[in-house]
Structure 1
Amino acid sequence: MKFSDLKLTTPYLKLSALFYDRVEPTPLQKPFLIAVSQEAAKLLGVDEKLDEDEALVSIVNGVKKLQNSETFSMCYAGHQFGYFVPRLGDGRAINLGKVNGQNLQLKGAGRTLYSRNGDGRAVLRSSIREFLMSEAMYGLGIPTSRALALIGSESKVARERWEKGAIVLRLSPTWVRFGTFEYFNAKGEHEKLQELADYVIDESFPELKAQEGIYLKMYAKIVKNTAETLAKWQAYGFNHGVMNTDNMSIDGRTIDYGPFSFLDDYDKEYVCNHTDQEGRYSFKNQPGIAHWNLGELAKALSPIVKYDAALQILDEVFGASYETLYSQIMYERMGLQTQQENDRELFSWMLGALQSAVIDYNDFFRKLSLFDGDKSAILECCVYRNQLDEWLDVYMLRLEKESLSAEMRHKKMLHVNPKYILKNHILQEAIQKAEVDDFSMVNDLLKVALAPFDEHKELEYLCKPVPMEAKNIKLSCSS
C-alpha cells in the first residue's frame, strides 16, 4: 500500500469539543523531502517506498489530506518546571487522524488556538533532531513516538536568528498526556475527566475493559510503563531535558524531543537544558521527577479514583518496576548472567569509577563487551585511570563466577551495548551540513539509528570520539 492511499479515522473528535480545536495546517514555502523512515511506515501498513510517493511532501506540508483526515490540535495543561500552567495544548502540532493504531501528527505545521505567542513553526535543526532521535530510541528498544518523514522549506522562521522552517510527520499510539487529565481536573470538569479516562482505556489499555476498579488499574499501568521507560533512559544514559507533565505520555513512551542528550562522559549531575538553571531535570533526577509527575497525575485523577489508593500503587509499583528492569539491563550490559552477593557494590563502584575517570558512558560498555583481561583499550579512553583500573581487576574476578564462555559473553554484550549513539556533537555536524542543503549525513545517521548494535563499516565516522569542546554541552529549548 502507498502512504497516500491510507484512510484515517478521528476517534478523538468524538470527545467533547473542550478536548480539541479544529485547525488547518499552514503550508511552508517551497517544501522538499529530506528523509523518510521506511521502518516507521511499516506501522501503518505501508509497504511501498515512501520517497517515491509523489503526494508525500504535499501531505506533510498540509496541502493535501489523507482520506477522511480531519485536522485538529489537542488541549491540555501541565506542570512546567514544577509550576502549574492551566492551559497549554498543541502549540505547533496538528493531528491528522489515526490508522493501524497510530496517530499521525504534523509538528511545525503552523499556529493553533494553543500557540499563545508562538508562531507554530519548527526549525530545521530541531526537526532533524526529533526525526533522528525518535528512530534512534526505537533502535535501542526504548518506548518512543516515531518519525515517518521530514521536510524542509524556504520559509524563514525567527528564533535567536533567522532559520529555515521544517515539519516532522510523527506517529504515536496516543498523544494524550498527563497534562490532559490535569486540564480537566483543574477546570472541575469531572465528567470530562471520566470521558478522557474511558478514551485512554479504549486507545491504550483495552485489556482493562469490563474489569472492576478500571480507572485505578489504568493508573497502575501508567505507573509501570513510565517506570520501565525511565529505567531504559537511565540504563542507556538518556537525558530528556524537559520532563514537564505536558511532555509525559499517558502510555509511558518517550515523546517531545527538545533539548535532549545522551551522556558523553558519565556525569550523573549532567543537565542538558541550559534553561534548567536549578538542575530539576538533571540525569540523576529523572526517576524522581517521573515519580513526582505520576503523583500529580494521581491528584488529577482523584475525582474518579481513590487518591490514597493511587498513591499506594505509585509507591509500590514505580520503584519495583524501575529497579527490576534497570537491574536486568545493567546486568546484561555488564555481561553478567547470575546474581552474586556483592553485585550491588560492584555496580555502584563501577558508576563511581566512571564518574571519576571522565570516560564516555556508552563507549565504555561497547569496549567492555570485548574485554578479555587486557585493560588498555578501556583505560586509554580515561582521563583519570586509577579507580577504573582497580574496578576492572575486581570485575575480571567476578566474571570467573560465570559459566558463559568469553566468546558467548562478548556476543551477548554486543547485542545490548550499542556502537552507535546519536550524540549531540554528531547531530550538530549533520545539522550544519543540512543548513547548506547537504542532507547525506541525516540519512547516514538514520541508518545507524535503526541498527545501533551492528557494524556499519562504511559509516565508522559516525562513532568517532566526542571532541573535548563538545562534551556534555547544554542545549536550548528554542526550536
Structure 2
Amino acid sequence: MKLNELTLTNPYLQLPAEFYDKVVPTPLADPYLIHANPDVAKILDIDEEELQSDTFVKFLNGEYLARGSEPFAMCYAGHQFGQFVPRLGDGRAINIGTLGKYHLQLKGAGMTVYSRHGDGRAVLRSSIREYLMSEAMQGLSIPTTLCLGLIGSEHQVRRQEIEKGAIVCRVSSSWVRFGTFEYYAHQGMFEELKALADYVIDENFPHIKGREDHYTLLFNEAMVITARLMAQWMSVGFNHGVMNTDNMSIAGLTIDYGPYAFLDDFRHDHVCNQTDVHGRYSFSNQPEIAKWNLKSLMMALSPLTTMEKLEKNLAIYDKIYMRYFHYYMCKKLGFEGTVEGDPELIDDMLDMLESLQVDYTLFFRTLSHYEGDRNALLATGLYHEPMHAWLDRYDERIKHIDATERKEQMLSTNPKYVLKNYMLQEAIDAAEQGDFSVVDDLFKIAQDPFDEHPEFERWAGATPKEFKNRKLSCSS
C-alpha cells in the first residue's frame, strides 16, 4: 500500500472528550531519514519502497497526515517514583491514528497540552536508543512497542546542552497505561473508567468480553502478562529504569524506553537511572515494583468490581512470576523442564555470577557451547573455584539430557548479542557526526541477536571495563 492510499481510523476518539486533547504536530526543520523498519512496514501493509520516499519523511515529521488522521494526545495520571501525580499525559507524543490493530504515534513532534514545562521534542540520542531497543526486544521475543521509522534534523533542542531534534514513529497495539485507569478513578469519573475498561477489553482482551465479572478478569489478564513480562526482562538481564505506573502497559508491553540497560557484569541491585538515588527501580526490584504497580491498578479498577476479588487475583502474582521466571531460566540452562533443586541452582548461579563479576550475556552464550571443557567459562570470571563448584552441580543436572538438543535449545534462547549502552553510545556518537552506519549495524544485530554475525564479533564479548555499569538520565 502507498502512503497516499493509507486511511487511518481513530477508535480512541470514540471515548469521552476527557480522554484526549486534539493537537497539530509541529514539524522539525529540514528533516532527513535515519532509518526505516521494513518489518514493521510489512505489519502495517505499507510498501517497502515507500520507506525511501520524501512522503515517508513528511509522514514521520507530521507534515503529511494520512486520510482520516485526527492527531491527539492522551490523558493519564501515574505514580512517579511512588508519588501520585494526578494529571500527566502525552507530553511529547502525538497519536496520528490507527492502522488495523496498531496505533501510530510520533514522539518528538511538538508540544501538547500535557507538555507542562517541556518542549514536546525528542533528541537524537534518546530517539536512536528507543528505535534500536524496540527492535532488539522484538528480536528477543519480548513484548514491546515497535518503531516504523526515525528521522533527524538540524533542529536545535535544549537539554543539558543544545542537541539535534529527532522524531521516532512508534507503533503499538495499545498505548493505555496503568496510569490511564488511575486518572479516572482518582477523579471519581467512574463512567469514564468503565468506558476505558470496556475499550481495553475490546482492543486487547476480546476473549473475556461478555463473560461474568469481566472487569476482574481484565485485572487478572493484566496481572498475568505483567508477571510474564517481568520474568522475561529478568531472564535476559534487562533493567527498564523508570517503572512508573504511567510507563506500565495494560497490554503487557515494554514501553517508554529511557535510561534502560542490559546488564554488563551481573549485579542483583544494578541501577541504570541516575535519578533513582534510592534504587527503587533497580534490576532486582523490578518484579516487586511491578506488583506494587499492579496494586495501584487494582485500586483504580475497584469501583468496577470488588476489592476482595481483585486482591484474590493479586495474591497469586508471586507464584505466577516465579513459574515464568524458572521456565525462562531453565530454557537458558538447557533443561527440559523444572525439577526439584532447579530454583536453588539458579539462585546460586546468579550469586556466583555477581561474586565473580561475570558478564551476564557472555556467560550464558558461552554455557550454550559447554561440552565439559570449562576453560572458556572460567575465563569469564575473576576466580575459578566458585564456578567449578557450580559447574559440578550443573554437570549432574544435565547428564541425562541429550547434548545436541540442549545446545540447540540454548543457542536459540541465549542471545550472542544484546544492545548494551556502550554500543548504543557508539551509534549515537557517529550519528551526531552524520554517520548512521552504526545504527544500521546495530539494527541488524537487534533483528537477529542469536545469529553469529562474525562481522560484529567485537561486540560479542564482555563490556569494556571503562564502559561498565554507567547510569543514564531520564532524558536518555
The normalised TM-score by structure 2 is 0.98
Q: Deviations over 1:265-304 (max 9, x none)?
A: 1101100001000000000000000000000011111111
Q: Which residue number corresponds to residue 341 of structure 1?
A: 340
Instruction: Tell me if structure 2 keeps the 8 A contact 1:3–1:53.
Output: no
Instruction: Tell me if structure 1 keeps the 8 A contact 2:134–2:144.
Output: yes
Pairing of 1:150-189 with structure 2 (within 5 A): 150-189=150-189
Q: Which residue number corresponds to residue 461 of structure 1?
A: 458
Q: Deviations over 1:135-180 (max 9, x none)?
A: 1001001000001100000100001111000000010001010001
Q: Deviations over 1:409-441 (max 9, x none)?
A: 212210000011000010001100001000000
Does residue 472 of structure 1 match 2:455? no
Distance 1:102 1:338 in 2: 35
Instruction: Tell me if structure 1 keeps the 8 A contact 2:327–2:337.
Output: no
Q: Which residue number corresponds to residue 428 of structure 2?
A: 431
Q: Which residue number corresponds to residue 214 of structure 2?
A: 214
Q: CA deviation at 1:65?
A: 0.5
Q: CA deviation at 1:199?
A: 0.8
Q: Which residue number corresponds to residue 380 of structure 1?
A: 379
Distance 1:88 1:228 in 2: 27
Q: Which residue number corresponds to residue 449 of structure 1?
A: 446
- Letter paired with 1:170: R
Instruction: Tell me if structure 1 keeps the 8 A contact 2:326–2:343.
Output: no
Pairing of 1:243-392 with structure 2 (within 5 A): 243-316=243-316, 318-392=317-391
Distance 1:8 1:477 in 2: 32
Instruction: Tell me if structure 1 keeps the 8 A contact 2:34–2:151.
Output: yes
Distance 1:238 1:171 in 2: 21
- Matched residue SS, 1:268: coil
- Matched residue SS, 1:118: coil
Distance 1:193 1:296 in 2: 14
Distance 2:219 2:308 in 1: 13
Q: Against the structure 1 CA distance between its residues 138 and 50, is the aligned structure 2 distance closer, same or farther, given a 3 Å change threshold?
A: farther
Q: Which residue number corresponds to residue 440 of structure 1?
A: 437
Identical aligned residues as a percent? 53
- Matched residue SS, 2:48: coil
Q: Which residue number corresponds to residue 232 of structure 1?
A: 232
- Letter paired with 1:306: T
Q: Deviations over 1:12-68 (max 9, x none)?
A: 111111000000111101100001111122221224334323311001101110111
Instruction: Tell me if structure 2 keeps the 8 A contact 1:103–1:172.
Output: yes
Distance 2:62 2:341 in 1: 58
Q: CA deviation at 1:6?
A: 1.9
Distance 2:445 2:339 in 1: 35
Instruction: Tell me if structure 2 keeps the 8 A contact 1:177–1:250.
Output: yes
Pairing of 1:42-53 with structure 2 (within 5 A): 42-53=42-53
Pairing of 1:23-62 with structure 2 (within 5 A): 23-62=23-62
Distance 2:380 2:437 in 1: 29
- Matched residue SS, 1:155: strand
- Letter paired with 1:427: L
Instruction: Tell me if structure 2 keeps the 8 A contact 1:79–1:244.
Output: yes
Distance 2:471 2:2 in 1: 40
Q: Which residue number corresponds to residue 75 of structure 2?
A: 75
- Matched residue SS, 1:474: coil
Distance 1:5 1:420 in 2: 38
- Letter paired with 2:10: T
- Letter paired with 2:305: V
Instruction: Tell me if structure 1 keeps the 8 A contact 2:238–2:283.
Output: yes
Distance 1:55 1:114 in 2: 28
Q: CA deviation at 1:305?
A: 1.4
Q: Which residue number corresponds to residue 407 of structure 1?
A: 404
Instruction: Tell me if structure 2 keeps the 8 A contact 1:29–1:154.
Output: yes
Q: Which runs of 5+ in 2 are unaligned?
A: none
- Letter paired with 1:155: H
Q: CA deviation at 1:396?
A: 1.4
Q: Deviations over 1:43-100 (max 9, x none)?
A: 2122433432331100110111011111000000000000000000000000011012
- Letter paired with 1:237: G
Distance 2:461 2:60 in 1: 34
Pairing of 1:108-123 with structure 2 (within 5 A): 108-123=108-123
Distance 2:86 2:43 in 1: 34
Instruction: Tell me if structure 1 keeps the 8 A contact 2:362–2:461.
Output: no
- Matched residue SS, 1:34: strand
- Letter paired with 2:426: E
Instruction: Tell me if structure 2 keeps the 8 A contact 1:92–1:110.
Output: yes
- Letter paired with 2:33: L
Q: Which residue number corresponds to residue 139 of structure 2?
A: 139
Distance 1:310 1:11 in 2: 28
Q: Which residue number corresponds to residue 124 of structure 1?
A: 124
Moved more, 172-181 or 303-312: 303-312
Q: CA deviation at 1:4?
A: 4.5
- Letter paired with 1:78: G
Instruction: Tell me if structure 1 keeps the 8 A contact 2:42–2:48.
Output: no
- Letter paired with 1:378: L
Distance 2:390 2:441 in 1: 36
The normalised TM-score by structure 1 is 0.97
Distance 2:50 2:352 in 1: 47
Q: Against the structure 1 CA distance between its residues 362 and 189, is the aligned structure 2 distance closer, same or farther, given a 3 Å change threshold?
A: same
